[in-house]
Amino acid sequence: MRDLPPLLLPLIRSNAVGELLAWLYLHPEKEYSTTDLARKTGISQPTVSREADRFIAAGLTSERRHGNLRLIRADTDTIVAKPLTDLLAVTFGPAAVLPPLLQPIPGIEEAYIYGSWAARHANQPGPLPRDVDVLVVGSADEDELYDAARAAERILGREVNISRISPVSWNADQSDPFVTSLRSKPLHLLIQQRSTP
């Protein structure tokens, strides 16, 4: 069964294409292996490789080989680079921008996008999201989360709201209407720390 075009940006063929391009264009200084992109997006490595072939053929990305490693980066010297970057920032940008900003903050066990952006990403119809709502599970410092939200806003061009909840409340509190509501609606996973034995 073919995927429907994503509601975040119906011009793009799939969420996979949008997320891959967002990672590449919103981090143009970096080059990624197809394995890195697969890990960051949750998309299979063969799919990432196929899409990378298409991006290169269309002149959207460049490729460098280092032994068996295939390294890909956005081609920012094209006429479409700036408008494409802007468009990706306001559509698929949250999935590519928030993880690197949140990852270094101690005390985050999980982080999700919820609300209208997560609903559009899950192809639920509705208006374009005006803001991005993020839930952080853990004990992260509120000031560091605030700073991450402001940094994300500068890149994404929209308001970013980060709420923090304790792991106990998130995992055990079935009576909290906020938690119950969140769990019943689409969530887009940004970070999930693996516990070390």
CATH superfamily ID and name for 95-192: Beta Polymerase, domain 2 (3.30.460.10)
Query: For position 177, what pLDDT does the model report?
Result: 86
Structure tokens at 171: 């995992």
Specify the CATH number for 15-91; select among 3.40.50.300, 1.10.10.10, 3.40.50.1000, 1.10.287.110: 1.10.10.10
Sign of CA dihedral 139, 141, 146, 151: negative
Average pLDDT on 75-104 reads 94
DSSP 169-190: HHHH-SS-HHHHHHHTS--EEE
Structure tokens at 184: 């019943």
Average pLDDT on 153-178 reads 89
Query: For position 126, what pLDDT does the model report?
Result: 92
Query: For position 38, what pLDDT does the model report?
Result: 95
Residue 3 has pLDDT above 90, yes or no: no
Average pLDDT on 166-176 reads 82
pTM of the model: 0.85
Average pLDDT on 94-121 reads 96
Q: Where are the beta strands (DSSP E) in 131-172?
A: 131-138, 159-165
Q: What is the mean pLDDT of the chain?
A: 90
| Residue ranges covered by each domain of the chain | 15-91, 95-192
pLDDT range class, residue 86, cuts 50, 70, 90: very high
Residue 5 has pLDDT above 80, yes or no: no
